[in-house]
Amino acid sequence: MGDNYVISEIEKDHILFQLEQNKRSDNREFNQLREVSIETNYVGKAEGSAVVTLGDTKLIVGVKAILGKPFPDTPDSGVITTSAELSPLASPFFESGPPSVAAIELARVTDRAIRESHSLDLSKLCVIPEKSVWILFIDFYILNDAGNLFDAAALGAIAALATAEIPKVKIGEDDEVEILEEKEPLIINHYPVSVTSYKLGKHKIFDANFKEERVSDARITFGFDEDDHIVSVQKGKLGVYTPLEIKEILKESLLVSKTLRKELMKALSKK
């Protein structure tokens, strides 16, 4: 662990020196995204799925639907639950076992953007109030962590939901629910995207690669819908931001969100 820390400090000094020269290690502009690729309907047995690559970062998102009971406080609403699997194959810093703090944060930040944007009308997932609703499981499988999983996961989640189809049902006597072979698409009301900015010293960069992310002091993720409304915010790591910094990052994040949404909608137009 000590050796990793020393290497990290050396890397940080070099990266900061480059930033002082207005350069990044991969020659991008501070607000320039890596190449984005989104492929939908990748997993045949899932209701919906997508593979997202963001530079060398790559992940699969799958949506699975099962019938279950609603929560007592929302008896006429379906349920969304998210989880992320950070496999050791994807990064030397991931470990096997129960979900790590990083996995839980990745799932919750993505879930929040979907939920708070009202991307889905959960009442439409209700089959029988208080008895039966559709539960949507959104699962992230990280294939390679080369930085900025948050923005890649958000793209994958919406792409998978937007191409998902769930079975139709027939309600019989005594509220018996029969699952039919015929399927129907989920109705997506909003298409949120996440934009994550990283702070390294006095510099702010977007779509950090693995080394930039690893040595960053802080990060902040904004979720935006297609009407430019802020639907979610998550600050991470130990560094701090001034109100002026947050205001500046917000303005630039909104511009970056338009590039991500363009790629998202381009992929969905091919479904």
pLDDT of 252 higher than 60? yes
pLDDT of 168 higher than 80? yes
Q: Read off the pLDDT band of 270 (50, 70, 90).
A: confident
pLDDT in tens, 140-156: 999 999 999 999 999 99
pTM for this structure? 0.93
pLDDT in tens, 43-53: 888 999 999 99
pLDDT in tens, 84-115: 999 888 988 888 888 899 999 999 999 999 99
pLDDT in tens, 62-91: 999 999 999 999 999 999 999 999 988 898
Q: Domain-by-domain residue ranges, the chain? A: 2-268
Could you tell me which CATH class the domain 2-268 is placed in? alpha beta
> CA–CA separation, 221 vs 196, rounded Å?
4
| Mean pLDDT of the region 150-177 | 94
